[in-house]
Amino acid sequence: MDTQVINGVELAAEIRLQILDKVKILKKTTGIIPGLSVILVGNDPASNVYVKSKQKAAMEIGMNAVDYLLPETVKDSDVIQLIKNLNSDESVHGILVQLPLPENLSKTKIIDSIDPNKDVDGLHTLNMGKLMTGRQIFPPATPYGIQKILLSAGVSVSSKHVVVLGRSEIVGKPISLLMSQKGVMGDATVTVCHSKTRNIESITNQADILIAAIGMPNFVTGSMVKDGVVVIDVGINRVVDAQNRRGYKLVGDVFFEEVSKKASVITPVPGGVGPMTIAMLLENTFKSASISSL
């Protein structure tokens, strides 16, 4: 099988360059510089890395990016007050609260305090509702990145059987909605599998396109997919690796060595979906800034 391994790093870099050009034009014509605020509560090492990468990527394309690092001991009301200040700050076009939040905080209350017009992560209840009806302004970044990958690989989704592993609010639910919607990058038949699904292998074997987003290292093996399948691996799992100087390595939800032998298209981990998520977040931030100029 001739397998196309997606280079998410390259694709994301291309998209960021396109946004850079659009940022320049926006600045020149309106004086507006897109502003992104990222809030991180606590010091989860992986979240720290994500937040730093988001800031770096935003700055590189001429946006203003500010990180707010809050201690784990903050209360809901502290985070909500910060968000209210950012909501009323005209120089801020995108607000993102890095997830997961510490257990003592209310994710729903915090996310829903973000102005829906600045919710570039697309996670506010109102924006989730809009997604349900196909009227979303900001598609959640990871599902949006997956759509871009499929588009760039020339994979049509229409009439395909898409099997989604995982029902998270950030990936599983929104991608299944987007792909079953009418229209471009939609019109698929979607099956969502999760921890209570029986005979999962019999379902994954029917997939024309398999999207793995369950957070279980190497879960999808070669026997679980059919020849020619398109595989999108959303998992980013740290597994112990004594050979690595960090003591761990990143692997996806898909056992790449086995599955890539059968797949027609596959995304690697790292270097597949991950970089695209950041690029699409920047796209949403640009969109928010340009809407604010109208």
CA distances from 186 to 129, 132, 150, 151, 247 (A): 18, 13, 11, 11, 41
Tokens 């990145």 label which residue?
145
Residue among 222 and 271 whose Cβ is closer to ligand GUN: 271
What burial class does residue 116 get, using C-beta atoms within 10 Å of its C-beta: 0-12 exposed, 13-18 middle, 19+ buried? middle
Q: Is 136 in the site for ligand GUN (CB under 6 A)?
A: no
CB within 8 Å of 44: residues ≥ 6 apart: 100
Q: Is 97 in the site for ligand GUN (CB under 6 A)?
A: yes
Least separation in angstroms between CB 220 and ligand GUN: 20
Of 37, 117, 267, 277, the one binding ligand GUN by CB under 6 A: 277
Of 61, 63, 65, 96, the one binding ligand GUN by CB under 6 A: 96
**Annotated catalytic residue: which of 22, 55, 121, 262?**
121
Q: Is 141 in the site for ligand GUN (CB under 6 A)?
A: yes
Helix axis angle, 8-30 relative to 141-152, nearest 10°?
A: 110
Of 117, 136, 142, 290, the one binding ligand GUN by CB under 6 A: 142
Q: Where are the beta strands (DSSP E) in the chain?
A: 4-5, 35-41, 64-70, 94-97, 161-165, 189-193, 209-212, 230-233, 237-240, 248-251, 265-266
Of 101, 105, 113, 121, the one binding ligand GUN by CB under 6 A: 121
**Annotated catalytic residue: which of 54, 148, 262, 287?**
54
Tokens 């995304």 label which residue?
267
Q: Is 98 in the site for ligand GUN (CB under 6 A)?
A: yes
What is the distance between the alpha carbons of residues 212 and 20, in angstroms, rounded to a whole number?
31
Least separation in angstroms between CB 24 and ligand GUN: 26
Of 170, 179, 212, 230, the one binding ligand GUN by CB under 6 A: 170
Instruction: Give the catalytic positions in this structure.
Output: 54, 98, 121
Residue ranges binding ligand GUN (CB under 6 A): 96-99, 121, 141-142, 170, 277
